[in-house]
Amino acid sequence: MAKLRKIAPCLWFDTQAEEAARFYAGIFRGSKILRISHYGKEGHEIHGRPAGSVLAVSFELEGQKFTAMNGGPQFKFSEAISLQVNCETQKEIDELWEKLCEGGDPKAQACGWLKDRYGLSWQIVPAFMDELFGEPTSPKTERLMRALLEMKKLDIAALRRAYEG
């Protein structure tokens, strides 16, 4: 059995944990559902969930383990946290953007950020972005930032042109 990473995200859903985990695993290559656990009779007076309903789903996306938990409606995702996906090609950006946007909030799309159908925020970005922003006050990075702020889905060629001037 593989060693668990010390830190792994746990995503809180009302009742859609399994649906969301399957949706995400269907988008990212090399991803899979690892385990599904269910509520039992114990603790019903606290959690209120029917015995046998899905409690949590352990899944893996691109080698990163996640847990999706059905905890009820009291907590929602916000833009305060997002999952960043570093993409090598425009084709990868285009594919992930299209799939993750399906059923999501079009008003929440800006600067490579999107909100999916479950309300989870994602950043779909070129892998080289950190490198280009290495000099935050240079004319190159100023042009790059201006171009980035005008985009919804990021365009690698346009970002590179802006950076180069």
pLDDT in tens, 126-153: 999 888 888 778 899 999 999 999 999 9
Judged against a pLDDT cut of 90, whether residue 78 lies above it is answered with yes
Torsion of CA 5, 11, 45, 34, to 10 degrees: -50
Share of the chain above pLDDT 70, in %: 97
Domain boundaries for CATH 3.30.720.100 within the chain: 10-70
Q: Which amino acid, residue 1?
A: M
All CATH 3.10.180.10 domain ranges of the chain, comma separated, are: 82-164
Q: 3-state class of 123 per DSSP?
A: strand
Domain 82-164, second-level architecture: Roll (3.10)
Compute the distance between CA of residue 40 and CA of residue 82 in angstroms, rounded to an integer.
32
Q: Let me know if domain 10-70 sits in CATH 3.90.190.10.
A: no
Distance CA 81, CA 121 (A): 7
9-13-19-20 Cα dihedral, nearest 10 degrees: -40
pLDDT over threshold 60, residue 2: no
Beta bridge partners of 126: 87
- In whole angstroms, give the CA distance from residue 27 to residue 96: 7
In this predicted structure, what is the pLDDT of residue 47? Answer: 81
Give this prediction's pTM: 0.91
Residue 89 makes CB contacts below 8 A (sequence gap 6+) with 156
